[in-house]
Chains A and B, each alone.
Chain A
C-alpha cells in the first residue's frame, strides 16, 4: 500500500486549516479516523442499536454479536489466551483505574511498594497514588536514563521484596522510546512482582503480542489507534482478573442479586458494569484490522522509516534543538519527537506552526515528573502516524525553522 492510498482512507487529512493543507502531527494525542471506522460506528447507531446481552429481540442479538465478536477479534489481535482476558473500558485511563482499584484491593497491603517509571503519563501515576494512599503502600520511582531509556540495572536496583507491581509504558508519550517490556517482565516476575504495561502509544507503533511480552496487564485506548473515542481495552491475565474484586457495581456484572448478598458474573462481564459504549466498541475491528495491515506492509514500513530518519537528522542538525528520548540505537525510537528550542518557547512555536497548518502539541504532555526530570517547563512534540508523508516531515522541518527565526 502506498502512503497516499492509506491517506485516502482518512478524509480529514485532505482538509485545510488556517488556509493551509493540514499537516497533522499530534497523533500521540489522538489519531485520525478512517472512513471504515466512522461507517461502522454509524451503522451500529443507525441500524443495530440495542442494549447488549439483555433482550432476546433481533436488534439486541445483532448488537451483542457485534460487541462479542469484537472481543474475539481483540483477543486474536493481542494474542491473548482467552476472551475472558479482554475487558472493554472507556479508554486506557479507565483501564488503569480499574486495575488500581481491583488489583490493589486484592493484593496491595500496608508497607507494599508500587514501582512507577519516571516517564509515565499522569494516568499511570495518579491512580496509583490514590491506591497507595488507600492501602498504606509506598510509591517508588524507576528512573529513566538521560537518553530516555529505562535501564534494567536501574530496575534491578529498585525492585524489592515489597514491590507488588511495576507500572511502565511500552512507549512513553513524551520520549517515544520502546521500552524492553519483555526483559522488564522477566526481571519483575523473578522477584514476584506483577507488571502493568501502558500500551497507549505502543499499540500505535507495531503489532502487540501480550503473551510474548508476558506482562500481567496491558491497556490501550481505541482513539489513538484509529478506533472510536470512548473505547479502550484492558488485557489482564485470567488468574489475576479472577482473584480481583469487581471495580464498578451495576447491571451486567452480576450473577444473582439479593439484599442478603450478590454474586458476580464470570469474566469478562464482572468488570463491565452498566451499559457499554456498544456503538463504538465494534469500531475496534476495522481500526485494528487497518493497524495490522499497516504494520505488515513493507512499503509503509519503509515510508515510516524514512520519515523517522529525516526528522531525527533534521532535529540533530539544529544546535538550538534539544531532543528528549534520543537513544544511540535508532531502532528503539518511534517517530514521536519531543524537544525544546533554545530561546523559543514551545507555546509560541506551536501557535506559529498552527498558523502554517502544522498541528503539534506543546506543554507538559501530562508528564510533569518527566518535565522536572529534564528541568524544563514544557516541550514541543511532533508525533507521526503511518499516514504522514516524507513531504509532510519536510514541511514540518521548514515551518519549524521559520517559526524559530520569527522568535529568535
Chain B
C-alpha cells in the first residue's frame, strides 16, 4: 500500500492540474456520484453527523490493527470529498490518522468546504474520525 504521505502528494498533484474551481468541483462531484458502498441500513441516527447543511453518515471499524471506514452524504460535493478522505485514510493505522493534520484538503483548494462553522458535517466527520483514532491509540 502506498504510504499516507505519498497518497496525499499524489492527490495534491492531481488537483494542481485543474485550471479553476469549476474543473475542481466537477471532478469532486464525479467522485461523489461514483462513491458507493455505504449500506443503507447503516444510515442510522447514531452514525449520523448532524449539520445545518449536508448530512453525513460515518461508520468505522478496527480490523487487523487498521482503521477502516465508510461514509456517505446527501450532498454531492461533500460526498466527493468523503471519497477523497476514504481513499487517503481508510485502511491506515490509528497512529497514522491521529498524527495527521488533514491539511492536504486545504492544499487542494477546499478550504471553504471545511470552514469551521457549526453547520459543517464534513468538519465534524473529520473530528469524529480523529477522535476514534486517538481513543484507540490512547487505549493501547
Contact = CB atoms under 8 A, between A and B. Distances in A.
A338 to B, nearest CB: 14
Nearest to A343: B76
A182 interface: no
A333 B29 CA distance: 35
Contact of A363 (B22, B53, B76, B78): B53
Could you tell me the dominant secondary structure of chain B's interface residues? helix
A299 interface: no
A348 B77 contact: yes
A355 interface: yes
A404 B16 CA distance: 26
B138 interface: no
Interface of B: 21-22, 25-26, 29, 52-55, 74-78, 112-113, 119
Contacts of A363: 52-53, 119
A104 B21 CA distance: 52
A381 interface: no
Could you tell me the dominant secondary structure of chain A's interface residues? helix
Nearest to B22: A355
A345 B74 contact: yes
A351 B119 contact: no
A350 B22 CA distance: 14
Task: In the A-B complex, list the 8 residue pairs whose CB atoms are closest, starting with the nearest.
Answer: A345-B75, A363-B52, A347-B53, A347-B75, A347-B54, A355-B21, A348-B77, A348-B75
Contacts of B26: 406
B75 A352 contact: no
A362 interface: yes
Contacts of B22: 355, 406
B112 A406 contact: no
A346 B121 CA distance: 14
Contacts of A350: 53
